Amino acid sequence: MNHLLRSLRLSAACLVVATAVYAQDTLVPPVFEQIPGPSCAAIPQWNALAPPATCTSAQFSEWLRDITHWRAERLIRVGYDDSLYREPSLLWTQSSFVQPQMMIHDRKFYDPSTRQYTVDRYLDDVNQRYGGVDSVLIWHTYSNIGIDSRSQYDLFRDLPGGLSAVKQMVDDFHRHNVRVFFPIMLWDQGTHSEGVSDAEGISRELTSIGADGINGDTLEGMPRTFRNASDNKGHPLALEPEVGMASDEMLAYNSLTWGYWDYTFVPSVSRFKWLESRHMVNISNRWAHDHTDDLQEAFFNGIGVESWENIWGIWNQMTPRDAEALRRTATIERAFASLLTSPLWEPHFPMQQYGVFASQWPAETETLWTIVNRNGYSTSGRQMLLPYKANAHYFDLWHGVEIHPEHEGNLSVLAFDIESNGFGAILEETAPDPKLDKLLPAVRALSEHSLSQFSHEWHSLPQQLVPVEKTKRVSVAPDGMVKIPEADYVFRVNGIEIEGMNDDGVDFQYPWESSARRYHEHKIHIGSFWLDKYPVTNAEYKRFLDATHYHPADDHNFLKDWTNGTYPMGWGNKPVTWVSLEDARAFARWSGKRLPHEWEWQYAAQGADSRLYPWGNLWPQSALAGPDSTIAIDSTQDTLYFPLPDKGRDALAASDVDAHPAGASQFGVMDMVGNVWQWTDEYVDDHTRAAVLRGGSHYQPQGSRWYFPQAYKLSQHGKYLLMAPSIDRSGTVGFRCVVDGN
């Protein structure tokens, strides 16, 4: 969703700047979520009118006075009420410094072989790599939503084990003091209707499992109706919009926000944190391979980060250096969470070394400074000048040691080291703080290795094709199968994932490739094989059940459109759906067959001439009515090629498999495109499983570009994330089988 979010952000930024300039006097107008730091601290430019210089104390003071005045007036203008931040049940939001968006398909989170949520395994992984999390956003919808007419609420109910197992999973997170969010998609208005408002629907849903918060996908602020709905149920949920807030007034009912920020040499100030120091922002820089910028901005502002690595099934793991930096910054932030909500926060506290920036967080007996070095070189020696206090003690929290300042008149001079692009933290105390007894040895042990000793090199995660065992070779045509001849075939295909651009790690990694990527081309020798002329039908699957009494251990949604063990009257010749990849493989084994490799499926549909569709290169009716067109396909003749698109909120049944004779491939294989998606290969990595789906389906939910996209062209495939049969089964996914030839 990155491109749309950036457009929204830029549009909102222009609006906010205009509002700030014309409606409220300020020398430093906010740019959406960010207040620019002092311009005098920027890197010198060769074409500047003035020679390079450092900021003076007067310049820092003028900048701080201006943004402080802006804040005071802004809160008056929006009629700010801070009661949300005094609500006891939501105080935890003020220390939620590390929050990953976690895909339900992450293999660390659920084990389909035991049918158990593995919360401990998931948390052990993040604890080991970067020190753990404070909350987790469990993502169960996009990018699979829209493959059929199940709504976000239906998919929630389809989670393995049902609501009782989901509630236990939430309890398992709570046992580790980790809070749990689920998302809301207000754009999901094209699938099955829940029959209630979204505010009511998700509040009811999350209250039933004891979850803690709602993340508003693509929202610039969660509407107040969500605050009212959860409060009325006696289970206040934390509201966390994804794209900041369109109005500062929303601070009064949104406890947290995400931050999509632009990064400059001079750290900016969080607009929402500045207006309300108890408001938590988690900066998201999801596609970055280097998180120095967002980690430093978060630490400077005393806010959190979105430790998002599994991005729609694309694994973007933090480098060891970034992970270690997060471990150390979060350790300090958690220890001093109460100081980081100080209303006396002073960003851009004057420092002595150029390019070193600090925020001051004062309290009655303690003051904390969170410090970042934006230089590409280390700094040492004189870093801070503070008013002399006879009873003050100073601690370098980054290195876990006490500092003994030098005195210069009425000043204390603090000297310490900060590595290049590194971090620092200083604590001044005038009364003993018992938590230092444990904290100092812990951070001292961490600091034995500098961040520079950890690798900052990023690598994508290798994928493996799940092996497919060959069948017994057959030379005589099996019943209902078509001979596909041996060939040297140029296999050319690309994924149609909505996000991920062409980053390393997107889509799939074929056996001949060094990493996953979106675009693929490879010349491959394909031996002869037999392919089902049609997708497996309900009648054929019924014969399999009658013969084997097959029944999956995880049977939720299994043959969902059947009743009392059989399909509806008149549906015998329709493709069987609501079968998982495992269910399809079971049928194939029974019949002495296997599922096709993707390149076999494509070759059988495409032949050797690289045609776009099984029947040729033209989409029926006209080029204007192609699969990417908004023009309706309503020609009766076109139904000979594929079904008419089904665009309602509840999907209709698929067509009979022989209803589209003009859609045959040159080998005579039928119903390859536009009726039901078809299972082919499966790929796995350490964190994700996904299946390659081919052919597209008849169902096209309307109203949003975020629904699972169609792949009607033979040069395209869909990537369907896998978790468990219960939720993997779909009303638009079927299959056909292969037998190997001589």
For the segment 425-451, what is each residue's pLDDT rounded down to a tens digit? 999 999 999 999 999 999 999 999 999
Give the other-Cβ count within 10 Å of 146's Cβ.
25
Please name which of 133, 149, 228 lies closest in space to residue 181, comparing C-alpha atoms: 133
Q: What is the DSSP letter of 452?
A: G
Domain membership of residue 19 (yes or no) is no
Instruction: Examine the fold and report which residue of 259, 278, 308 is the final residue of a domain before the chain moves on.
Output: 259
**Which residues neighbour 475 within 8 Å (Cβ) at sequence distance 6 or greater?**
741, 742
Domain membership of residue 5 (yes or no) is no
Q: Note the pLDDT tens digit of each residue in 573-621.
A: 999 999 999 999 999 999 999 999 999 999 999 998 999 999 999 988 6
**C-alpha to C-alpha distances, 136 to 103, 166, 188, 310, 559, nearest whole angstrom:** 10, 14, 22, 12, 33
Q: Which residue has the tokens 């008419």?
A: 644
Q: What are phi and psi of 436, to 5 degrees?
A: -65, -25
- pLDDT at residue number 635: 47
Cα–Cα distance measured from residue 731 to residue 579, given in angstroms and rounded to the nearest whole number = 8
- pLDDT at residue number 619: 87
Please, are residues 395 and 416 in contact by the beta-carbon 8 Å criterion? no
Domain membership of residue 63 (yes or no) is no
Domain membership of residue 41 (yes or no) is no
Query: Roughly what angle, to the nearest 10 degrees, separates helices 162-175 and 198-209?
Result: 70
User: Total domain count for the chain?
Assistant: 2
- pLDDT at residue number 628: 52
18 pLDDT more than 70: no
**C-alpha to C-alpha distances, 396 to 243, 342, 452, 453, nearest whole angstrom:** 35, 20, 19, 20
1 pLDDT more than 60: no
Query: What CATH number does the domain containing 617 carry?
Result: 3.90.1580.10
- pLDDT at residue number 637: 53
629 pLDDT more than 60: no
Strand duo 116-117 + 98-99: pairing? unpaired
Query: What CATH number does the domain containing 138 carry?
Result: 3.20.20.80
419 pLDDT more than 60: yes
**C-alpha to C-alpha distances, 371 to 44, 59, 83, 329, 359, nearest whole angstrom:** 21, 19, 31, 10, 7
- pLDDT at residue number 627: 52
- pLDDT at residue number 24: 86
Domain range holding 469? Answer: 464-740
Backbone φ/ψ region at 372: left (φ over 0), alpha (ψ -120 to 50), beta = beta
Query: Roughly what angle, to the nearest 10 degrees, separates helices 162-175 and 119-130?
Result: 30
Tell me the pLDDT band of 630, cut-offs 50, 70 and 90.
very low
Domain membership of residue 524 (yes or no) is yes
Cα–Cα distance measured from residue 167 to residue 206, given in angstroms and rounded to the nearest whole number = 9
Tell me the pLDDT band of 699, cut-offs 50, 70 and 90.
very high
**Which residues neighbour 459 within 8 Å (Cβ) at sequence distance 6 or greater?**
none
Please, are residues 289 and 316 in contact by the beta-carbon 8 Å criterion? yes
Domain membership of residue 253 (yes or no) is yes
Give the other-Cβ count within 10 Å of 608's Cβ.
12
**What average pLDDT score do residues 143-170 get?**
98
Please name which of 221, 277, 301 lies closest in space to residue 254, comparing C-alpha atoms: 221
* Amino acid at site 683: Y
Domain membership of residue 158 (yes or no) is yes
Please, are residues 319 and 330 in contact by the beta-carbon 8 Å criterion? no
Cα–Cα distance measured from residue 253 to residue 484, given in angstroms and rounded to the nearest whole number = 62
Cα R_g (the chain), whole angstroms? 29
Q: Note the pLDDT tens digit of each residue in 533-544.
A: 999 999 999 999
- pLDDT at residue number 11: 43
Q: Note the pLDDT tens digit of each residue in 634-686.
A: 445 556 899 989 999 999 999 999 999 999 999 999 999 999 999 999 999 99
Instruction: Examine the fold and report which residue of 259, 275, 298 is the final residue of a domain before the chain moves on.
Output: 259
Domain membership of residue 32 (yes or no) is no
Instruction: Examine the fold and report which residue of 229, 259, 289 is the final residue of a domain before the chain moves on.
Output: 259
